[in-house]
Each structure stands twice: as structure tokens, then as C-alpha cells.
Amino acid sequence: MAEFSWLDVFASHDKDAPLLDSGQRRWRATEIADELRALQPRLAASKVVAVLADNGPAWVMADLGTQLAGKVHLPLPAFFTPAQLRHALEHSAADTVLTDMPERIGALDLGFCHTGRWQGLYWMRRIVPAVSLPEGTAKISYTSGSTGAPKGVCLSREGLLDTAGAVGEATAALALQCHLAALPLGLLLENVAGVHAALLRGIPVHLPPLGTMGWQGGAGFDPARLDAVVRESGAVSLILVPELLKVWSLWLAARGLMASERLRFVAVGGARVAPGLLELARARGIPAYQGYGFTEAGSVVSLNLPGDDGEDAGSPLPHVRLSVREGEVVVHARAFLGYVGGVRATSGAFSSGDLGHLDERGHLHLDGRRGNRLITSYGRNVSPEWVESLLLADAGVAQAVVVGDGRPQLAALIVPSPGADPAALAALIDRVNAALPDYARVRHWLAVQPFTVDNGLATGNGRPVRTRVIEHHSMQIDALYAASSNETNANDKEANDVFP
């Protein structure tokens, strides 16, 4: 089999095709190829190249150029805390950084020196001993995860290309003509399943800065900006996390608007998607379809598509094989090579930690996380994601975490949507409970402040970090159950007074 090269990919497309568009400049296929060639000598002395930058053509070309040079790419999401940035750079022994935030790198005091500029990015270098990486590592992905110092997942070039090619193949019949990179490129979901998949098929990618699309850091997200960019760019496809889909859909609904008629496919991943959210989005003209994947699998492994859709995580893509062992989803693929300085992969099978099952159509259904399963003091097993999905289906709920391990009943920490009536939450709890068996009903609940990256209670894609949320609210949770216990004891005393 011939050696893969992005130069060959661009040579196979129309040389004048504008494949990367920042909103300020359009990069044609030949211009991208020329820039990748010019980048090679500058990367010759590097081993691990970190990129910390806003979305734009420079980010993509740094990614492709690093791969072309046979170096290791370390994407650094801008939402990482200083501690997470430090950990990723030290743990991976990154010796080169390309960034539009040099002050953040300098503040870490890791010995990086400014050595030049390239395409608006600062080029920073240091001399540092290399760490042991699995042979064939092309990209290291550190997710914000559930701890402050997550593992660095080592991924192969072949496995990542498998993912991008499979996504492109699965969506080929949709005749997608322009992809909008709406998520940070530092997320594997966007840079592989979004950008790489589009470029392999010669589909132009629109890459505006994140701020123009409504990203406001800890201040939240402005759906009006996203909607405007979708319309102005003529985007046909994009990828969203559930929270962004929800705020956009609610914004459209509140104004009686429909989404851009050009949209044909909006993939939603990063966390479980409530069926009610997909219904809400589609009612506003957003063709939203749920997918499933994770870092070790090289991003997406299953996807719903028009004509092959359901209230599930979709059909496995052609580059993977899914199986279920003792209720846990196992993915067979070739992306995962091991962890930085740690365990090496010994086979192509990876146990996801997700509980699930395959139906008669071969679609994957997710039943929660193995480590998240709650066991009440009555011995009943409950997946919190099941209950949370019902809560999140309501427009009044922005985020929810269900707790109750070792407790007699379940409780919920609820973040109300902006403008939602707190008094309506009680009625919502009653409606949700009516659809649940007795042991899975929410008996206690509390409205709390949002879980965000800034307060350490959410990952970059908006998913609550369950362990941190529970720890942060531990006193309030204890108070909820204590109040219930006092009420029960009072009722027991009254009963004893009546029935001595």
C-alpha cells in the first residue's frame, strides 16, 4: 500500500479549490501544499510539537505539517487550566510550541524561548529529554477528563485516518459542500471527524475564530453568533456538543426562527444526547444526529444518519468493530497505541467503560458508565445518565447530575437554564418521576450554579465532571438527605404516637 501523504490529497483536488477559509483569507489546495512543504525544515529538530491557538487555517496547517514531517502533534485546548497545560507539556516532553497565546506558555516557566513567527503564531522552543512513547505515535490527546492530571492518549496516524475516512464515507451520500468548524480544533472530535474528514473529500472548511461563533469562555456561549455564522458561511455541516445544540435550539424556538436551510447534517457528540433535545432541534430545522466515540478509539465509532436513525448512538462506522462484554462496550480499532510513559496497547481492542448493548439493527445503545452506576442502600442498580437524560430533555434544565450511591433514594443537582422559572422545577421533577420506576425516582433536588471549565466542574465540551461536582456540593447533598431523614423520623414519631 502506498504511503499516505497530505500532499497527495491536496494534489488530487482542484488546485484552485479554496479548502481553508478563515473569513479573512481563503487558502487554495496548492497554497496549502506549498506551505506544508515550507514548514518541513522548520520542524526538523522538533520531536513533540504542541499547538495552543484559536481556530484558523494556521492551526490546521500546523497539524498537517507535523504529521507530514513524521513528528508528534500535541493539541492543547485553550480552555485548559495552567495546571493542565503544564502537565501536558511536561508529561509529553514537548519541545516546540506554536501559539497565539505566548504569555500563557511563558507564565508556566518551562524554559520555552521565542524563536520566531509563522502564520501569525509564535514559534517557541526548548531543549528537553524525550519521554518514552509507543512506536508510531502521531498525536497525543489529553482530555480534561475527571482528574486534574489526565493521561496522554497516544494515537496512530493510520488509526486517525481510519476515523476521518470512515466519517467521510458514511456521509458521502449527503453531498456535503462546506463544513463549519464550530468546536475548538484542540478537540479530537473536531480536528479528526470534522476537518480531516472534510479535507480528505475535498470539502471546504470554514475556520472563523471561536469568539465570532459565540464562545465566551467562562461567560458562557452566545447562540445568536453561532446562528449568524452558520447563515453567513453557507455551512452545510457542523459538529456540536449537546449543550451548544440545546442553547441554539432554544434561542431559535424563543424567536420563532428556523435554522439555515443549507444545513444538511449536524453531528452531536461528546456526551449522551436526550431524545427530546434531538426533537427540539429538528423542530427548528437543525438536522441533528447523535454519534458516539472517545479518545482512545480515535474519536467517532458510531453515528446516526438520515434514513438510518434512532434514539441511540447509531451504527458502527466501517473502520471499527463493536462488541459487548459483560455489558461493557468494547471497540476494536487501530488508533490507540497506549499512554505517555505508561501502558502500551497489546491488541486492537479497548474496553470503553461505557455500558451498552447492540439491537437487532446493529445500532449501539448506551446505558451509562460502568464507574458511574449507583447502587442504592436498597441494592437497586441505577444508571444516573438514564435519569439525567430525562431531566435534560426539558428546556428549563441546562445541566444535571444525579447522585444517590449508598443512599435510600436519588437526588439531583440541577442547573436551571437562563431565564427558567425555578418554581417550575418541582413540576418537572414530578413529570420525570412519573416515567420512572419507584427506585429510580428523584426524591430530593437542589438548584445550583452552572458547572463550568472555569470552576473545574465541567470538561471542555460542557460535560459535568461527576466526581468533582459531587465533592464540591457534598455538604449540600448531605443536608438534603439529612432533612429527609429528619422528616422521616418525625413522621415515624407521629405514627408511634398514634399506634403505640
Give the model's pLDDT for residue 499: 25
> Quick one: DSSP state of residue 2?
P
**H-helix or E-strand containing 364?**
strand 364-369
Contacting residues for 200 by C-beta, under 8 A, at least 6 apart: 9, 161, 164, 165, 168
pLDDT tens figures, 187-242: 999 999 999 999 999 999 999 999 999 998 756 789 999 999 999 999 999 999 88
Stretch 361-383: mean pLDDT, rounded?
80
pTM of the model: 0.81
Contacting residues for 19 by C-beta, under 8 A, at least 6 apart: 10, 13, 27, 28, 29, 32, 199, 202, 203, 204, 205
Judging by beta carbons within 10 Å of its beta carbon (0-12, 13-18, 19+), is residue 315 exposed, middle or buried? buried
Give the model's pLDDT for residue 489: 39
Give the model's pLDDT for residue 484: 67
pLDDT at 155 over 90: yes
Q: Give the separation between CA 290 and CA 148, rounded to whole angstroms.
A: 28
- Percent over 70 (pLDDT), the chain: 94
Is 207 in a helix, a strand, or coil?
A: coil
Q: Give the separation between CA 242 and CA 240, rounded to whole angstroms.
A: 6
pLDDT at 487 over 50: no
Query: In 304-458, which ranges are continuous DSSP H helix?
Result: 384-392, 424-434
Here the cell at position 426 is 418541582
Radius of gyration of the chain (CA): 24
Contacting residues for 109 by C-beta, under 8 A, at least 6 apart: none
Query: In 201-321, which ranges are continuous DSSP H helix?
Result: 223-233, 242-255, 275-283
Stretch 109-122: mean pLDDT, rounded?
97
Stretch 348-362: mean pLDDT, rounded?
90
Give the model's pLDDT for residue 411: 95
Q: What is the pLDDT of the chain when averaged over all its residues?
A: 90
Scanning the structure block, which residue is given the C-alpha cell 476537518? 195
Query: In 93-156, which ranges are continuous DSSP H helix?
Result: 102-107
Task: Give, rounded to a whole angstrom, the gap between the first and last alpha carbons of the chain.
Answer: 85
Give the model's pLDDT for residue 460: 74
pLDDT at 396 over 50: yes
pLDDT tens figures, 438-449: 778 999 999 999
Q: Give the separation between CA 316 and CA 280, rounded to whole angstroms.
A: 25
Stretch 31-42: mean pLDDT, rounded?
97
pLDDT tens figures, 53-77: 999 999 999 999 999 999 999 999 8
Confidence of residue 2 (pLDDT cuts 50, 70, 90): low
Is 240 in a helix, a strand, or coil?
A: strand
> Quick one: DSSP state of residue 451?
P
pLDDT tens figures, 447-469: 999 998 889 898 877 789 888 99
Amino acid at 379: G
Here the cell at position 91 is 508529561
Give the model's pLDDT for residue 274: 75
pLDDT at 490 over 90: no
Here the cell at position 187 is 478537540
Give the model's pLDDT for residue 1: 46
